[in-house]
């Protein structure tokens, strides 16, 4: 029907032209952004899946960086261990030199002085080697490297001249080790059920009566852990904080002792200094029975009686040779651990990189635009848009035909 009020053909052509123009705009947006999904209306389900995958990719990439940071931390420790290695070799040379009878006492004194300085340097290196405030050669606190779905536990070791027994003033210290063990020092050592907030749960201990030692009982109140329980590391911190507040000077009275044979940790209590017997006693109230009885602790001693290694005599130098040999073995065992921890972290970093790459591939399949397909679609919509413009022009001219009938 020829009409002049409503141009149905022009409206139809305009509608199809608008649809073609929208498709053309969508193709240009996808090609310019490189993404098939730019807004939720493009593919709502695909967008949700893509964002979850992107989150997983970010976690894996950060976990890989965590592993790399862990390797850097271990390299710091291993570098320090390399220097300690050189020092121990030199100390053994000095002990061997002083062990022979061809040197005078004055010459051995010079050797002993160098030996003593090297011993002090081992302790200084151990105490100053840290990574982001994590002590690597002067602590036994576990450092957990989080690598995505799990952690890799790094167990530092104290590598001072005293712990290696290569110092010149090593003395016997009374020490007690609790028989209770946990797989990790961060695990619960005393359960919440064993601590009752309604009563006072105290852990009380003392080391002997010498003037150089803590004479008054040290008291640790465990009530704050009645609802959560207390881990071994937390208990160690509470004990050492109480010792520091006692006024006799801070020292590591408590440590989380690692047992490499059973791969476990337990509470170790050690006297401040060596010398006479300490007469160690402990009491507790509340339900902390695992810490209250002497039977729950095994007594041990660290270091050696007297003045430690002494190179001023041939006999002392010969004894030092055996001690240094043991120290080198202890050092080598820990340095080897640093090596296989680094290898493990390196493997974890590699696997995490592969996992992130595979997820990026999956995310690309969902989100990235197929350029060839989209170009073909854009070409098609361009032709349709051009045809729509032409037909709209023709449709707009149709009412002009009615004028010929009105003349």
Mean pLDDT (whole number) for 14-18: 87
Mean pLDDT computed over 101-109: 89
- Beta strands at 254-259 and 202-206: parallel, antiparallel or unpaired: unpaired
303 pLDDT above the threshold of 50? no
CATH of 35-171+309-368 among 1.10.420.10, 3.40.630.10, 1.20.1330.10, 1.10.260.40: 1.20.1330.10
CB 80 within 8 A of CB 138: no
In this prediction, residue 276 has a pLDDT band, given cuts at 50, 70 and 90, of very low
Mean pLDDT score, 61-82: 94
Residue 342 pLDDT greater than 90, yes or no = yes
CB 286 within 8 A of CB 201: yes
Of 251, 240, 235, nearest in space to 160 by CA: 251
Q: Which of 232, 271, 280 is nearest to 249 (CA)?
A: 271
Residue 309 Cα to chain centre, angstroms: 37
Lookup: tokens for 402:
């009615």
Across the range 239-262, mean pLDDT stands at: 74
pLDDT tens profile 37-53: 888 877 888 888 888 99
Residue-level pLDDT at 206: 67
Helix (H) or strand (E) holding 145: strand 143-146
- Sign of the CA dihedral with 50 first, then 51, 52, and 53 last: positive
Average pLDDT over residues 204-220: 59
CA-to-CA separations, 41 to 24, 46, 213, 385, in angstroms, rounded: 16, 10, 75, 23
pLDDT at residue number 252: 65
117-175 pLDDT per residue, tens:
999 999 999 999 999 989 999 888 899 999 988 899 998 988 988 888 888 764 556 67
SS3 state at 306? coil
Contacts by 140-146, CB closer than 8 A, 24 or more apart? 140/185, 140/255, 140/256, 140/257, 140/258, 141/185, 141/233, 141/256, 142/184, 142/185, 142/186, 142/233, 142/256, 142/265, 143/73, 144/186, 145/66, 145/67, 145/69, 145/70, 145/345, 146/63, 146/66
Helix (H, G, I), strand (E, B) or coil at 198: coil
Nearest to 389 by CA among 22, 8, 17: 17
Residue 77 to residue 169: CA distance in whole angstroms: 26
206 neighbors 299 (Cβ within 8 angstroms): no
Q: How many CB atoms lie within 10 A of CB 183?
A: 11
What token pair was written down for 199? 């009563």
Q: Measured over all CA atoms, what is the biggest interatomic distance in the chain, rounded to whole angstroms?
A: 140
Write the DSSP string, 25-86: HHHHHHHHH-BS-SSTTT-HHHHHHHHHHHHHHHHHHHHHHHHHHHHHHHHHHHHHHHHHHH
List the chain domain ranges.
Answer: 35-171+309-368, 172-302
Centre a 10 Å sphere on the Cβ of residue 326 and count the other Cβ atoms it contains.
Answer: 12
Q: What percent of the chain has pLDDT over 90?
A: 28
Q: What is the pLDDT, as a whole number, of residue 304?
A: 37
How far is the C-alpha of 116 from the C-alpha of 174, rounded, in Å? Answer: 24
pLDDT at 212 over 60: no
- Specify the pLDDT at position 397: 79
Q: Which of 34-43, 88-97, 192-201 has the lowest mean pLDDT?
A: 192-201
Whether the predicted pLDDT of 292 surpasses 80: no
* Rounded distance between C-alpha atoms, residue 223 and residue 203, angstroms: 10
Q: pLDDT grade, residue 207 (50/70/90)?
A: low
- Please report the sign of the dihedral spanned by the C-alpha atoms of residue 344, residue 346, residue 349, residue 354: negative
């Amino acid at each position: 029907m020829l009409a002049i009020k409503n141009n149905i053909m022009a409206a139809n052509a305009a509608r199809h032209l608008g649809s073609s123009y929208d498709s053309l705009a969508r193709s240009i947006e996808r090609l310019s952004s490189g993404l098939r999904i730019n807004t939720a209306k493009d593919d709502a389900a695909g967008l949700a899946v893509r964002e979850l995958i992107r989150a997983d990719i970010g976690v894996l990439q950060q976990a890989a960086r965590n592993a790399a940071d862990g390797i850097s931390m271990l390299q710091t420790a291993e570098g320090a261990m390399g220097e300690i290695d050189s020092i121990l070799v030199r100390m053994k040379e000095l002990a061997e030199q002083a062990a022979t009878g061809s040197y005078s006492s004055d010459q051995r004194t010079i050797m002993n002085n160098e030996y003593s300085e090297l011993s002090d340097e081992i302790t200084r290196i151990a105490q100053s080697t840290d990574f982001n405030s994590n002590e690597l050669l002067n602590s036994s606190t576990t450092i957990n490297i989080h690598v995505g779905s799990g952690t890799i536990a790094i167990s530092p070791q104290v590598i001072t001249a005293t712990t290696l027994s290569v110092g010149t003033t090593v003395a016997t210290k009374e020490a007690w080790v609790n028989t209770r063990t946990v797989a990790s020092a961060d695990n619960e050592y005393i359960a919440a059920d064993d601590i009752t907030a309604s009563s006072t749960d105290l852990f009380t201990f003392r080391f002997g009566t010498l003037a150089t030692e803590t004479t008054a009982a040290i008291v640790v109140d465990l009530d704050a852990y009645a609802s959560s329980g207390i881990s071994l590391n937390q208990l160690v911190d509470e004990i050492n904080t109480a010792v520091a507040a006692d006024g006799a000077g801070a020292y590591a009275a408590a440590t989380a002792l690692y047992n490499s044979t059973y791969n476990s940790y337990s509470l170790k209590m050690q006297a401040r200094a060596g010398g006479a017997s300490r007469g160690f006693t402990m009491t507790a109230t509340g339900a902390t029975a695992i810490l209250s009885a002497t039977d729950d602790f095994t007594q041990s001693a660290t270091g050696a009686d007297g003045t430690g290694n002494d190179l001023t005599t041939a006999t002392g130098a010969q004894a030092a040779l055996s001690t240094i040999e043991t120290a080198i073995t202890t050092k080598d065992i820990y340095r080897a651990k640093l090596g296989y921890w680094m290898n493990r972290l390196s493997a974890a970093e590699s696997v995490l990189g592969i996992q992130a790459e595979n997820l990026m591939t999956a995310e690309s399949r969902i989100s990235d635009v197929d350029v060839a397909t989209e170009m073909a679609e854009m070409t098609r919509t361009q032709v349709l848009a051009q045809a729509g413009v032409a037909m709209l022009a023709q449709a707009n001219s149709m009412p002009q035909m009615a004028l010929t009938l009105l003349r």
